[in-house]
Amino acid sequence: MPFFDLPLDRLREYRSASTEPEDFDAFWAKTLGEAREHELDARFARVATGLATVETYDVTFAGFGGQPVKGWLVLPAGITEPVPVVVEFVGYGGGRGLAHSHLLWASAGFAHFVMDTRGQGSGWAPGDTADPVGSAPAFPGFMTRGVEDPEAYYYRRVYTDAVRAVEAARSHPLADAARTAVAGISQGGGIAVAVSGLVRDLAAVAPDVPFLCDFPRATTVTDRTPYREIGNYLKTHRGRRERVAETLAYFDGVHFAARATAPALFSTALEDQTCPPSTVFAAFNAYAHEDKAIEVYDFNDHEGGGVFQQAAQLRWLPERLRAR
């Protein structure tokens, strides 16, 4: 697929047309306040993986509405003092996977917390967290569940889970809460961007080809799912575009990025039709912290940089986490 989005020089200047709701901060303060009325109740159960270099824990904590959310905590084997922690969110349709699946950040000497995504975990990696909250009729997938009401929208629950996941990770005695990073690929990257604006004391943010950014452009510039789910919904529910846009504005990564307080390393790919580069640059250009960089992969689609981006993160992240 050739380049289809804006030229790179225009991408570096591009700004989203997404309109921030006047009560954006109040909406999220209320949402997170309600979640914190429930005890976090983070529980860590050691599991046998057959791996000698890491110790893995099956985690359960209270997310949105006090509902149970699963995760993995992977620690370098034998550590006795707290280490920096990387909280990772996973891509669309996937779950936390199997206990032996996550080795990168523990191998680098960090604690690694992987959040399961409620209601997902059936597309490409298994998950164990249900989404017990119902919704109005929705197009297959997750993008339109409750999409006509910010209070009911699916990602209100997911973003809240993600903030609580950071709190759960920090609650473990071997996690250094002052040196916490969030990361993820695609949907996971979009969730990381959201958390960057909801958690004020992170040490670093690493969104890789992030999803859930610049909805006005994303829903019109690409016909690839998951963004296309919104178009398919509106194809059936004619005349509801404005109402849907009003809901999505509360969940647009651009507005969270504008509130970020931690250094960030983004990535994008110029042939990515799943998360078009203009939507990624929209979040990057809005990102409030001055210590920010973006890796651009010219001839790649949604695979982005892959292991090359991991190598970039392994060079970048330790400097931000070990310097604090």
Alpha-carbon distance 93 to 109, whole Å? 29
Give the C-alpha distances (Å, rounded to integers) separating 68 from 13, 34, 37, 242, 299.
42, 15, 14, 34, 41
The answer to whether residues 202 and 180 touch, using CB atoms and an 8 Å cutoff, is: yes
Q: Please identify which of the residues 5, 102, 176, 186 carries the catalytic annotation.
A: 186
Determine the angle formed by the axes of helices 154-171 and 187-198, rounding to 10 degrees: 70
In the sheet that holds 83-89, the strands lie side by side as 43-47, 54-62, 68-76, 111-115, 83-89, 175-185, 204-208, 264-269, 292-297
Q: Which two tokens stand for residue 48?
A: 């046998």
Name beta bridge partners: 89. 115, 184
Question: Widest CA span of the chain, in angstroms?
Answer: 59
Nearest 5 degrees, angle CA 255-CA 105-CA 125?
A: 75
Would you call 25 a catalytic residue per the annotation?
no
Radius of gyration (Cα) for the chain, nearest Å? 19
Alpha-carbon distance 287 to 294, whole Å? 11
Q: Please identify which of the residues 38, 100, 237, 302 carries the catalytic annotation.
A: 302
Would you call 116 a catalytic residue per the annotation?
no
Which amino acid, 152? Answer: A
Residues 6+ apart with CB under 8 A from 228: 222
Alpha-carbon distance 288 to 285, whole Å? 8
| Residue 3: closest CA among 222, 224, 270 | 270
Would you call 272 a catalytic residue per the annotation?
yes
Active site residues: 186, 272, 302
